[in-house]
Structure 1
Amino acid sequence: MNSGHSGEPGEPTAPAPRGTPVGRRVLLGTIGLGALGVFAAPTLQNGLEGFLGAVAGKDPTGLTGLLPNGGGFRYYSVASSVPHKNATNYRLTVDGLVDRPKTYTLDDLRALPQTRLVKDVQCVTGWRVPGTPFEGVRLSRLLDAAGVRSSAAAVRFTCFDGTYTESLTLDQARRSDILVALRMQDKDIGHDHGGPVRLYVAPMYFYKSAKWLSGITVTDKVEPGYWEHLGYDVDAWVGHSNGRSDVPTS
């Protein structure tokens, strides 16, 4: 949910009971008004986007997610700092239960057929950015190229922030509206929005769309991701409260 992910707002001090998302709502609700009082002065309106971007990567609590910005997104990170990657040093590894593991550079990904989707971005905390274009490579294309083995049942995603993880079932990962995204809002995805490459899971709440994507590992079972370990649902279909296991029609 920063601009979608690498996390959602700050973690609670202990794992919450399943289905009770205190990580975002309670923590941010209790400390948020004070933060807004400090930062919401009108004099910050010019250049606020840049200010948020500079702060977000250093804010493990997600406090910067309370600050408004012109793009409609709110910025969250669960890591204290995130390295910057570019075409020179970015790598995406596809491995696990596959016959042909592969490591992609940014140029490799750009050379593959690109898919453009225009969907609403919906955060489970309630904010939404309507009609947001994303472009990238369908995740299913990368899985097909790797040769998924018959014993596979799920896909695990890791990120170069060193902290965030996510998962999808194999059937979910093969949907046509799941992208390894390189562009958002008709421009290359910047660092603060999870670039240069992030996951985009269009039909689910934005915490499933992991930022700073670095690894795609095919597994034999779903492994709950960062926020699922803190009480959020593994299945996070938009419109089904905090996610339910029943799959909506495509």
Structure 2
Amino acid sequence: MKRHSVATHRVTVSGLIDKPQSFGMADLAHFPQTVLDRDFQCVTGWRVPDVRWAGVALPDLLDAVGVSSDARAVRFTSFDGVYTESLTLEQARRRDVLVATQMDGKPVTHDHGGPTRLYVAPMYGYKSLKWLGGIELTDRVKPGYWEELGYDVDAWVGRSNGRSDAPT
């Protein structure tokens, strides 16, 4: 995976929106910043407790570009084009879904998916796409990289991928 420099990295937002835009790191820093302290849970069972994520709440970014009434889902693409992920528009509008620019008080490193990565707090880690480069508003959910390999499209921690231990 080719590394992206913080100076030149951009997240492009396109698709069913009013104002297609490309945001650099400085642009993202101008948005209100959201901080979440949450566990990072892998579908395979491991967990990293109390990770501090910071960045732009995805709903704020979506509001800035003007989502079309025809949009029903959001597709995310890594900057190398290999990895993809999708959320319903309703899921993407949750305040605990971030375009993360910091992890534990420091910029997100390349090894952790930086300079920007998606962080979807209530879902298993595979939904938190690393190396975020593209956000596209679409008319339907399109299965992502991991779903094509058999993982659930909905990845609620404890309620998907064969797990049934979540509180109701």
TM-score range, shorter chain: over 0.9
Q: CA deviation at 1:211?
A: 0.4
RMSD: 1.4
Partner of 2:7: 88
Contact map agreement 1:86 1:106 (CA 8 A) in 2: no
Q: Among 128, 140, 146, which residue is 2:65 paired with?
A: 146
Q: CA deviation at 1:146?
A: 0.7
**Given the alignment of the two structures, is residue 129 of structure 1 paired with residue 45 of structure 2, yes or no?**
no
**Given the alignment of the two structures, is residue 242 of structure 1 paired with residue 158 of structure 2, yes or no?**
no
Post-superposition Cα deviations, 1:64-86, rounded to whole Å, max 9, x if no partner, equal xxxxxxxxxxxxxxxxxx11112
Structure 1: give runs of 5+ residues left out of the alignment.
1-81
TM-score by length of structure 2 reads 0.94
Q: Distance in 1 between matches of 2:102 and 2:24?
A: 15
**Given the alignment of the two structures, is residue 101 of structure 1 paired with residue 20 of structure 2, yes or no?**
yes
Written as runs of structure 1 = structure 2, the 5 A alignment for 1:148-163 is 148-163=67-82
What SS class does the counterpart of residue 145 from structure 2 fall into? coil
Q: Which has the higher strand share?
A: 2
**Given the alignment of the two structures, is residue 225 of structure 1 paired with residue 140 of structure 2, yes or no?**
no
Contact map agreement 2:154 2:160 (CA 8 A) in 1: no
Opposite residue 116 of structure 1, the aligned amino acid is V
Partner of 1:186: 105
Post-superposition Cα deviations, 1:73-127, rounded to whole Å, max 9, x if no partner, equal xxxxxxxxx1111232201101100011110011111121100000110000110
Written as runs of structure 1 = structure 2, the 5 A alignment for 1:41-60 is none
**Given the alignment of the two structures, is residue 208 of structure 1 paired with residue 130 of structure 2, yes or no?**
no
Structure 2: give runs of 5+ residues left out of the alignment.
none
TM-score by length of structure 1 reads 0.64
Partner of 1:72: none
Q: CA deviation at 1:145?
A: 0.8
Q: Which has the higher helix share?
A: 1
Q: Distance in 2 between matches of 1:95 and 1:154?
A: 12
Q: Distance in 2 between matches of 1:90 and 1:98?
A: 21
Q: Alignment identity in percent? A: 64
Q: Distance in 2 between matches of 1:217 and 1:162?
A: 13
After the TM superposition, list the runs of 4 or more consecutive aligned residues in structure 1 that deviate by more than 4 angstroms. Answer: none
Q: CA deviation at 1:238?
A: 0.2
